[in-house]
Amino acid sequence: MTDAIQIALRGVTHAYKTDSGPLPVLRDLNIEIPEGEFCAVVGPSGCGKSTLTRLIAGLMRADQGDVILHGEKVKGPKNTVGMAFQNPVLLEWRTILDNVLLPLEIVPTKLNKAERRDRARSLLKLVGLEGFEDKRPSELSGGMRQRASLCRAIVHKPEVLIMDEPFGALDAFTREDLWQTMHNLREEEPFTCLLITHDLRESIFLADEVVVLSGRPATAQYKLRVTFEGKRKLDDLYTQKATDMLAILRHQIEIAQGRAPADDAEAAA
Ligand SMILES: Nc1ncnc2c1ncn2[C@@H]1O[C@H](COP(=O)(O)OP(=O)(O)O)[C@@H](O)[C@H]1O
Ligand SMILES: [Mg+2]
């Protein structure tokens, strides 16, 4: 039954130890992401979203509860997970192609050198970076660097991709282009996705489910199924359905920020 669940957080509770005592960050957090699904997590600034990504990536352990990846408890970093961050952190002394190849130098692979380069090149082509393979990161725009970093995050074919506000620093048009790129990438090679974002439009354009976290210590305050039909297109964001979903999410964020009273009727946690 549970083997179709790719990422599961069960009763995850965590506090950071600080000089002024424990800082509770996550409280009884439950999230399940089925294989191949895209889950977006939104919530107030400082509520624990990046903490959540670090727990799933195995970079730290929760005080209580379980983080389960492909049916197994997470005990440390795994190479079945790819990660992308707001800052693309590409290595300036390497070309774009060599940056994308980096995980294949670290993660065991059956591919030989030529096959690895072919794989990296085909990903770069898919995200529109054909012809830029030999450039250095500083020669590319912010949007192009983020495209390259997405290629690097999935070049070793991870089963799960975790992204922490990857499009946050980009201008609105570049961001929308990258949303389309995300869809294209997933059409080409399906993987399970967890996206942290503060952009509600981005969340409904990309995700199958949007989880709204409460204020700190964060728990799953509300879960919204996104029900656009067929292949997503930007026009979907200008439909009544989108407006309604965005209104619900905005209201839930206000509740999470303590700026609107909780309406307990729909709380989904
Ligand atoms: N290593 C740490 N030690 C102590 N406090 C931390 C640490 N990392 C994050 N925090 C605090 O925990 C809270 C949640 O942080 P974070 O998960 O980064 O929030 P978000 O990504 O939602 O903005 C914040 O108040 C932050 O200051
Ligand atoms: Mg963060």
| Burial class of residue 188 (count of CB atoms within 10 Å of its CB; 0-12, 13-18, 19+) | exposed
Under the banding of pLDDT at 50, 70 and 90, the label for residue 266 is low
Q: Which residue among 16, 17, 61 is best mutated to probe the pocket of ligand 1, counting the most ligand atoms within 8 A of its Cβ?
A: 16
Ligand 1 atom at minimal distance to the Cα of residue 54: 17
- CA–CA distance, 97 with 137 (Å, rounded to integer): 10
Res 106: pLDDT: 87
- Which residues line the pocket of ligand 1, CB cutoff 6 A? 16, 18, 23, 25, 45-51
Residue 65 Cα to ligand 1 midpoint, Å, equals 19
CA 46 / ligand 1 centre spacing (Å):
6
Identify the weakest region by mean pLDDT among 24-33, 81-90, 117-126, 249-258: 81-90
pTM here? 0.93
Measure the CA–CA gap between 169 and 32, rounded to whole angstroms: 28
Looking at residue 169, what is its pLDDT?
A: 86
pLDDT tens-place string over residues 67-105: 999 999 999 988 889 988 888 889 999 999 999 999 999
pLDDT tens for 171-196 read 999 999 999 999 999 998 889 999 99
